[in-house]
Copies of this chain bind each other. A is one copy, B any other.
Amino acid sequence: MAGMGDDHAGHDHVWADDLTKNQGLVLGTLAHSDGPLSAYDILDKLREDGLRAPLQVYRALDKLMERGLAHRLESLNAFVACADANCHRRGLIAFAICEDCGKVDEFADPLIDERLGVWAGARGFAVARTTMEIRGKCANCAAA
């Protein structure tokens, strides 16, 4: 019964000490995964920790994303823990998603961000947030 689910519930919340129980569980699950997880994937991994409904996961994800601790990959309907220990990153974040192995590389490029600002400024568009997702093959998988 000491299932594998415990290994992240055990050390709880390393990343921020004011997460609620569900937020800690969800972030722990994401951080221990080697790839993006859908909300239902997360739910399944947390059933033995007492979670039973999708909403519990979505609520936690919303809070985590507000704080920049997790990100949503729109093109996958899936979520990842922020790769930057405490991202809180404003502005553009980009993700390179390997379609072979599923690995996701998070990065920020100030030049792209600035270039985007130029475009928006020229048109009077007020940018709230930007999602940028690159699909392809990572170096490892491209070599194979």
* A→B interface (CB under 8 Å): 74-75, 96, 98-99, 105, 107, 109, 111-112, 115-116, 119-120, 123-139, 142-143
Closest residue on chain B to residue A100 by CB atoms: B126
How many identical subunits does the complex contain? Answer: 2
Contacts of A119 in B (CB 8 A): 96, 107, 109
Contacts of A115 in B (CB 8 A): 109, 111-112, 115
Q: Which of B109, B125, B134, B142 contacts A136 (CB 8 A)?
A: B125
Q: Are A124 and B142 in contact (CB under 8 A)?
A: yes
Q: Are A135 and B125 in contact (CB under 8 A)?
A: no
Of residues A74, A126, A133, which shows the largest number of chain B Cβ atoms within 10 Å of its Cβ?
Answer: A126
